[in-house]
Amino acid sequence: MTDISHTRSPSMARNQSPTVKLVLRVVLYILLGLFALFYLMPLFVMITTSLKSLDEIRTGDLISLPREVTLDAWKTAWATACTGIQCEGVRPFFWNSVLIAIPAVMISTLVGALNGYVVAQWRFKGANIFFALMLFGCFIPFQVVLLPMARVLGIMGIAGTIPGLIFVHVIYGLGFTTLFFRNYYVSIPDELTKAAKVDGAGFFRIFWSIFLPLSLPIIVVTVIWQFTQIWNDFLFGVSFSQAGTQPVTVALNNIVNSTTGVKEYNVDMAAAIIAALPTLLVYVVAGKYFIRGLTAGSVKG
Amino acid sequence: MAPILEVKNLFKNYGATEVLKDINVSIEEGDFLVLVGPSGCGKSTLLNCIAGLEPISGGELFIGGQNMTNVSPKDRDIAMVFQSYALYPTMTVAKNITFGMKVRGIDQATQDAKLKQVAAQLQIEPLLHRKPGQLSGGQRQRVAMGRALVRDPKLFLFDEPLSNLDAKLRVEMRTEIKALHQNLGASMVYVTHDQIEAMTLATKIVVMKGGIIQQIGSPAEIYNRPANLFVADFMGSPAMNLIPAKTRRDNGGTVIEIARKEGDPIVLTDPKNADLPEDVILGVRPEDIADPASRTRDDAQVAECVIDIVEPAGADTYVVMQLGGKHVTARLHAETTAKAGVAQPLAFDLGKVSYFAPETGQRLN
Amino acid sequence: MSKWLQDNMPKIVLAPSFVAVMVFVYGFIGWTAWVSLTRSRLMPRYELDSFIQYERLATSPRFETAMVNLFIFGTLFIVIAMVLGLLLAILLDQKIRTEGALRTIYLYPMALSMIVTGTAWKWILNPGLGLEAMVQGWGFESFEFDWLVDPDMAIYTIVIAAIWQSSGFVMALFLAGLRSVDEEIIKAAQVDGIPHWRVYTAIIIPSMAPIFLSAFIVLAHLAIKSFDLVIALTGGGPGYATDLPATYMYAMAFSRGDIGQAASSAMVMMLVVFAIVVPYLYSELRVKDD
C-alpha cells in the first residue's frame, strides 16, 4: 500500500534566474487553482442551486450566488419530493441505505478479515488458487450475475428486500475485503503465527489476540471502501429492490428523472447532496484511508 | 535414559522438491545441538519440523521419549525463539511473556511469579510495561528469550536468534545464551548460519547442506576432522586451506608435493597416513602454517613461500600466497616481518592435516 | 477441539466464501453463458440453440451503437483521465504549499456516487438553464453548448463527467508512484546535472510503468462497467444515442424482457473485461508467487 502524504525532501534545485523561477511558480499556482475550480464548480453549483428558489433559478445564472437563501428545496428533497408514485422525499430511502450499508459493511469486513488471515498466514494447498478466484471475482462486470442473482434471491425468498440487498453486497464485496486483509496480513512475518502456535494458541485465538489488534488501519480502510461502494451502489439497488426498499441512489435518480410535474432543479440538487453527504463526510474525515483503499486495489502490495 | 530429542529417518518434501533427506540425529538431556549450514540447506526447516510447525513427509520424531511426529506444536513441550523475535506487537512485554501461560489457563498468581522470576533472570524488569515497538533490538531479543524461558520446556528451539543484532551485541548475547545453557542445564536446538556461533555454543554440531547431514560431531571433531570438503571449507574462519597436492609413499610415511607458482614444488613429509592415493586435496588450517619461530611441534617443516598479500588483523597477521594453484592463508604473529612479494619461511604443521579425495570430496584419513 | 477440527480450521473458515464465490461468481457466469446460448425471452429457457443471441446482438443497431459508444467513451476517458491525472500529479509534486488541500479537492468526486455526479452534470449541461444559458447571459448570444440533447455529442458529456469523477483518482495513483521513486536515483541525477524536466521524462515516468498499467486497468474496468453515470446523466438518450453495453444489458433484462439478449450482452462485457484483466492478473499473481 502506498502512502502519498510524504513530500519529497528539499531537492530539485534549478539553475534558472530568480525571475524565471518566480514566473514559473506563479504559472504553476494559477494552473493548480484553475484545476481546483474545475473540480469544485459542480459542488458549488449544486450547493448554490439547492439554496435558490425555482424562480431565481429560471432568471439567474448557473454560478451566481443565491440572492435569497431558502432551505425549502432541502425540506422538499428530504421529506416530500416524489420518487415515482411515492412522495416522501429521500428520507425513507436514506435510511434504507443505512440499513443496507451497515450490516453489509460489517459482515463483509469480518469475513474478509478471516479470509485474508487464512490466505496470508495459514497457507495451505489451494489457498492461492482460492485467492486468485476471489481476486478475479473483483473484476467481473456485475451485469453477468444480475439475471441469475435475481432468480436466486427469489428462490431464497429475499427478492426485493433489504436483507436481499445486504446479501448481494456481502457476496460481491468479499473479493475486495479479502484482498485488502490478505495484502495487509501477508506483510506480517509468519513467525508471529508460529510463535503463537508454540505458545499454545489456536486458529481463532491467534486471530483474536494477535492479528485483530494489529488490524485497525486496514479495518478502517476496508470499512471506508465498503461503505463508499455500497452507499454509492446503483446497479444492485435498482435491480434487486422494489418500491419501499430502494437505496438512496435509486431514489435520487427517480426524483431527478421523474417526468411528472414541474422540474424542480433545486430539489434535485438538494437530494443529490443529501445522497452524497455520508460518503463526502467519510472522505473529509478519513481521506487518507479512503485514498489508501482506492490505491490498494490497484497498486501492488 | 532416552534421548531428549530423537529424529529418525526424517524426510521433508515441498511438492516434488526434497528439502530434507533422511535426517537422523539425537541429543541427550542438557545437550546444545547446533544446526549449521549455508542458507537453503534445510536447517530452519528441520527446526520447524521439530517444533511441529511444518508437517514432515516421512520418518519419526521423539521428544522426551514420546513420539511427537503428529502432535501439534503446543503439545510438544517446546519453546522457540525466532529470528525476527516474533513478539506480539500489540501486547506489552509482560503480556508477551505470559501469553503462553494465559492460553494454557495457568492461574494468575503462577503467571506473575514466573514472570517475575524470568524478568529478573534476564534483567528486563524495567521493560515489562513497554510494547515491542519501543524496545531496541537487544531488548527484543531478551524478551523473546524470556517468552521461551518462562515456559520451562523440555526442549528449547532457537532459529537464528542473533542474526538481526549488530556484531558487538551478537557476541554479548552469544555469551549470555551459553551461560544460560550452563545454568539451566536445558536441552537446546539452535539454528545458525554462523559457524563461529556454532563452534562457541554447541556441545554437538550438525553440519547440513542441500537437505543432507554432512557431519555430526562435537565442535572439536568438526573442526579438526571435517568429514568432507564442504565441512572443511564451511567451518572455520579464515577457512581451511584446501590445496591440491601429489603424494607418494615413502618409508611407511607419505611425501607430499605442492606446486608453487614459480620454482620447485614444496615437498613435505607426513610420517603417518601412508595409504593415500596419488592425487589428494590437502586440508591445512591457517594456524597450522605459521612462523618457524613459533612452531609448537618439532615435526613442523619449513618451506619458503613468496607472499602475495599481507593482512594485519590485530592479534594476528594473515598472509596469502599461492600454492597448488590456490590462495593459501597462513596465520602469523602480529609482529611478523612478512612483506608482499618477498619470500618468507613458513612452518607447515601436518599434525592435524586432513586429506580429501578430489573426486568425491570425502575425507581420506 | 479435536485435532482434525484444529488442523482443518483454516479450510473450514474459507469454505463458505469459497462456496459463495464458486456459486455466485463462477456458477452465475456459467448460468449467464448458458442462457446466452438459448432462445430465452421473458423467461429463461435452457435448450441450447447455438449463437442465435450473439447473432441478434451483431445485427442490432442499438447494440452496435452501444459498442461504438463504449469504444469512444472508453478511449477518450482513459486517455484524458491518464494525461490529466499525470499532469496534476506532476504539478502537485513541485513542493506545493497547499498540496494537501488541493489533493483533497481534486479527489473528492471519487467519493460521490455516479448518480450524484450525473445529476450535477445534467444540471450544469442543461442547455436552457445551465452553462449554455449562463454564457449566453454574459452576452455571447451565439454560444451553443447543447451536447446533452444532441445525439451526436451526448456521449461526450458522459466523457466529461466521468473524467471529472475519476481523474483525481489517477492523480493519487501517479502521485504515489512519483513519491515512491528512489530518492537516491533522483539525487544522483541532480549530481549529474540533469535538468529538472529531464528527471521526469527520463527517470521518474519510465519507472512508473506498472502504475500506468494499474491506472489503465482500473479506468478500463470503470469504463466497461459504466452504467449509473449514463442512467443519471442521459438515461441512454437522446433515443439510445448514449447507450453502453451495460445500459443495453439492463434494458434488455429489466424493461424489454429479453433475457437472451441481456445474457449475451453481459457475456460480451465479460469477455471485454477478460481480455483486459486476465493478462494483468496473470502477471500480478505470477510475480507474487516468486
**Can you name the residues that pair with B306 across neighbouring β-strands?**
B343
- Residue at B361 is within a domain: no
Structural domain contains residue B363:
no
A7 domain residue, yes or no: no
Nearest C-alpha of chain C: how many angstroms from B70?
10
Inter-residue contact A142 to A206 (CB < 8 Å): no
State the burial class of residue C23 (Cβ atoms within 10 Å of its Cβ: 0-12, 13-18, 19+): middle
In chain A, residues with a C-beta closer than 8 Å to the C-beta of B48 are 194
Distance separating alpha carbons of residues A193 and A203, to the nearest angstrom:
9
- Kindly state whether residues B166 and B58 are assigned to the same domain: yes
**Helix pair angle (A162-185, C3-20), 10° resolution:** 120
- Is the domain of A54 the same as that of A163? no
Please say if the pLDDT value at position C3 is more than 80. Answer: no
Q: Is the dihedral of CA A264, A265, A270, A274 positive or negative?
A: positive
Same domain, A128 and A162: yes
Show which of residues 7-46 on chain C sit within 8 Å of chain B, judged by CB atoms.
7
Of A191, A197, A210, the CB nearest to B74: A197
Dmax over CA atoms of chain C, in Å, equals: 83
* DSSP conformational letter for B132: G
The answer on B252 and B187 residing in a single domain is: no
Collapsing DSSP to helix, strand or coil, A74 comes out as helix
The residue segments making up the domain with residue A61 are 18-70
Exposure pattern of A200-219 as b/e (b: 16+ CB <10 Å)? bbbbebbbebbbeebbeebb
- The whole-number average pLDDT for the span A36-40 is 92
Q: What is the pLDDT of residues A165-188, one digit of tens each?
A: 999 999 999 998 998 899 889 888
Residue of B nearest to A196 (CA): B100
Same domain, B78 and B177: yes
Q: Are residues B229 and B279 in the same domain?
A: no
Q: Residue C288: pLDDT above 70? A: no
Q: Give whole-number Cα distances, C46 to A156, C34, C77, in Å.
A: 21, 7, 38
C136-163 burial, b at 16+ Cβ within 10 Å, e below that, comes to beeeeeeeebbbbbbeeebbbbbbbbbb
Contact: C179, A139; criterion CB under 8 Å: no
Nearest Cα residue in chain C from B75: C3
| pLDDT, tens only, C43-71 | 877 777 888 888 888 888 899 989 999 99
**Percent of chain B predicted with pLDDT > 70:** 98
Answer whether residue C286 shows pLDDT above 80.
Answer: no
B284 in reach of chain A (CB within 8 A): no
Task: Provide the pLDDT for residue A250.
Answer: 92
Interface test mutation site (partner C, options A49, A233, A298, max chain C beta carbons within 10 A): A298
Residue C204 has pLDDT above 70, yes or no: yes
Q: What is the 3-state secondary structure (H, E, C) of A226-263?
A: HHHHHHHCCHHHHHHECCCCCCHHHHHHHHHHCCCCCC
Cell numbers of A42, please? 459542480
The domain boundary residue, chosen from B210, B234, B258: B234
The answer to whether A194 contacts B84, with C-beta atoms less than 8 Å apart, is: no
Residue B297 has pLDDT above 70, yes or no: no
CA B148/CA B353 separation, integer angstroms: 42
Pair (A59, A100) in one structural domain: no
Q: The CATH number of the domain where A154 resides is what?
A: 1.10.3720.10
Residue B38 CA to residue C105 CA, distance in Å, equals: 54
B355: left (phi over 0), alpha (psi -120 to 50) or beta: beta
For C266, nearest residue in chain A (alpha carbons):
A144
In a domain, B364, yes or no: no
Residues of A with CB under 8 A from a CB of B: 189, 191-192, 194-202, 205, 209-210, 213-214
Q: Residues A278, A138: one domain? A: yes
Residues 6+ apart with CB under 8 A from C257: C41, C42
Q: How far apart are the first and last CA of chain C?
A: 35
pLDDT digits (tens, 9 = 90+) for C258-275: 888 999 999 999 999 888
Domain boundary, last residue among B170, B199, B234: B234
- Between the CA of residue A108 and those of A86, A126, C16, C19, what are the distances in Å? 32, 22, 12, 15
Higher pLDDT, B160 or C126: B160
- Do A204 and A111 share a structural domain? yes
Mutate to test the interface with B, among C3, C4, C9 (most CBs of B within 10 A): C3
Of A192-201, B71-80, B150-159, C277-286, where does mean pLDDT reach its minimum?
C277-286
Best residue of A135, A147, A254 to probe chain C, by most C CBs closer than 10 Å = A147
Residues B168 and B249 in one domain: no
Q: How far apart are CA B184 and CA C61, in angstroms?
A: 86
* Residue A144 and residue A43 share a domain: no
Total domains in chain B come to 2
Question: Residues B190, B155: one domain?
Answer: yes
Q: Which residues of B touch A194 (CB under 8 A)?
A: 48, 51, 53, 73, 80, 82, 86
Q: What is the pLDDT of residue B58?
A: 92
Residue-wise pLDDT for A115-136, tens only, equals: 999 999 988 888 888 888 888 8
Quote the CA–CA distance of C108 and A31 in Å, as a whole number.
19
Choose the CATH number for C60-289 among 1.10.3720.10, 1.20.1300.10, 3.40.50.360, 1.10.1040.10: 1.10.3720.10
pLDDT over 70 (residue A276): yes
A143·C250 Cβ contact <8 A: yes
Q: What is the CATH number of the domain that holds B347?
A: 2.40.50.140
* Closest residue in A to B74 (Cα–Cα): A200
Q: Count of CB contacts below 8 A, B vs C? A: 3
**Lowest mean pLDDT: which of A32-41, B4-13, C190-199?**
C190-199
Say what percent of chain A tops pLDDT 70. 91
CA–CA distance, A299 with A179 (Å, rounded to integer): 12
Q: Helix or strand or coil: residue B282?
A: strand
Q: How far is B25 from chain C (nearest CA, A)?
A: 27
> Does the pTM of the predicted model rise above 0.90?
no
Question: Is A4–C176 a contact, with Cβ atoms under 8 angstroms apart?
Answer: yes
Within this chain, do residues A100 and A155 fall inside the same structural domain, yes or no? yes
Q: Which residues of chain B have a CB within 8 Å of the CB of C6? A: 72
Chain B residues touching A201 at Cβ < 8 A: 74, 99-100, 103
Contact A197 B72 (CB under 8 A): yes
Partners of B207 in the beta sheet?
A: B36, B215
Sheet holding B266-270, edge to edge: B266-270, B253-258, B241-250, B279-284, B354-356
User: What's the rounded Cα separation, in Å, for the pair B170 and B172?
Assistant: 5
C97 touches B at CB < 8 Å: no
Question: What sign results for the dihedral spanned by CA atoms A269, A270, A272, A276?
Answer: positive
Closest by Cβ to C187, choosing from A11, A29, A137: A11
- From residue A121, give the alpha-carbon distance in Å to each of A153, A181, A184, A197: 34, 11, 11, 12
Contacts of C196 in chain A (CB under 8 A): 12, 14
Dihedrals φ, ψ of B168, to 5°? -70, -45
Look at A198 and B48 and tell me if their CB atoms are within 8 Å. no
Distance (Å) from the alpha carbon of B76 to chain C's nearest alpha carbon = 14
> In the predicted model, is pLDDT for residue B18 greater than 70?
yes
CB B343 within 8 A of CB B304: yes
- E strand or H helix that includes residue B265: none
* The C-alpha cell that represents C93 in the structure block: 509534486
Residues A160 and A285 in one domain: yes
Tens digits of per-residue pLDDT, B313-327? 888 899 999 988 889
Q: Considering only CB atoms, which chain C residues are within 8 Å of A204? A: 9
Q: What is the pLDDT of residue B352?
A: 86
Cα distance between residue C259 and residue C267, in whole Å = 12
Q: What is the pLDDT of residue A7?
A: 46
CB-based contact (8 Å) between B50 and chain A? Answer: no
CB contact under 8 A, B80 and A198: yes
Residue-averaged pLDDT of chain A = 85
Tell me, yes or no, if C184 comes closer than 8 A to chain A by beta carbon: no
pLDDT beyond 90 at A242? no
Phi–psi pair at A171, nearest 5 degrees: -55, -50
From CA B258, how far away is CA A44, in angstroms rounded? 91
Q: Are residues A147 and A264 in the same domain?
A: yes
Q: How far apart are CA A127 and CA C14, in angstroms?
A: 9
Same domain as A273, residue A153:
yes
- pLDDT beyond 60 at A4: no
Chains that touch B (3 or more CB pairs under 8 A): A, C
Which positions in chain C touch B74 (Cβ < 8 Å)? none
- Residue B174: domain span: 5-234
Q: Which residue among C129, C176, C263 places its CB closest to the CB of A2?
A: C176
- Using a CB–CB cutoff of 8 Å, tell me whether C103 touches chain A: yes
Each residue's pLDDT tens digit, A70-98: 888 888 888 887 777 778 888 889 999 99
Residue with cell 592415493: B277
C-alpha span between C261 and A88 (Å, rounded): 36
The count of domains in chain A is 2
Same domain, B149 and B55: yes
Q: Is the pLDDT of residue C238 over 50?
A: yes
CB atoms within 10 A of CB A105: 25
Residue B72 contacts C, CB cutoff 8 Å = yes
**Residue B362 lies inside a defined structural domain of this protein:** no
| pLDDT for the residue A12 | 45
Chain pair A-B, CB pairs under 8 angstroms: 63
Domain boundary among B234, B256, B280: B234
The answer to whether A256 contacts C179, with C-beta atoms less than 8 Å apart, is no
Mutate which of C22, C115, C211, C282 to disrupt the A interface (most A C-beta within 10 Å)? C115
pLDDT at C17: 92
C11 touches chain A (CB under 8 A): yes
B141 in the same domain as B261: no
Provide, rounded to the nearest whole percent, the portion of chain B with pLDDT above 90: 60
Query: How far apart are alpha carbons B321 and B337 in whole angstroms?
Result: 15
Residues B151 and B250 in one domain: no
DSSP labels, B26-86: EE-TT-EEEEE-STTSSHHHHHHHHHTSS--SEEEEEETTEE-TT--GGGS-EEEE-TT--
CA distances from C152 to A183, C155, C240 (A): 45, 7, 11
- Whether the predicted pLDDT of B251 surpasses 80: no
Q: What is the pLDDT of residues B61-70, one digit of tens each?
A: 999 999 999 8
Mean pLDDT across chain C: 86
The whole-angstrom separation of Cα C122 and Cα A73 is: 18
Chain B partners of A195 at a C-beta cutoff of 8 Å?
A: 80, 82, 86-88, 147
Per-residue model confidence as pLDDT tens digits over A131-151:
888 888 888 899 999 999 999
Chains that touch C (3 or more CB pairs under 8 A): A, B
Same domain, yes or no: B118 and B262: no
Residue type at A260 in one-letter notation: T
Q: Rounded distance, CA A274 to CA A74, Å?
A: 8
Touching subunits for chain A (3+ Cβ pairs under 8 A): B, C
Residues B187 and B225 in one domain: yes
Q: Does C2 touch chain B (CB under 8 A)?
A: no
Q: How far apart are CA C234 and CA A69, in angstroms?
A: 30
Q: Quick count: other Cβ atoms within 10 Å of Cβ C61?
A: 8
Residue of A111, A123, A139 for testing the chain C interface, max C β-carbons within 10 Å: A139
**Is B305 a residue whose pLDDT tops 90?**
no
Tell me how close the Cα of C100 comes to any Cα of chain B, in angstroms.
29
In the numeric block, which cell numbers belong to residue C288? Answer: 507474487
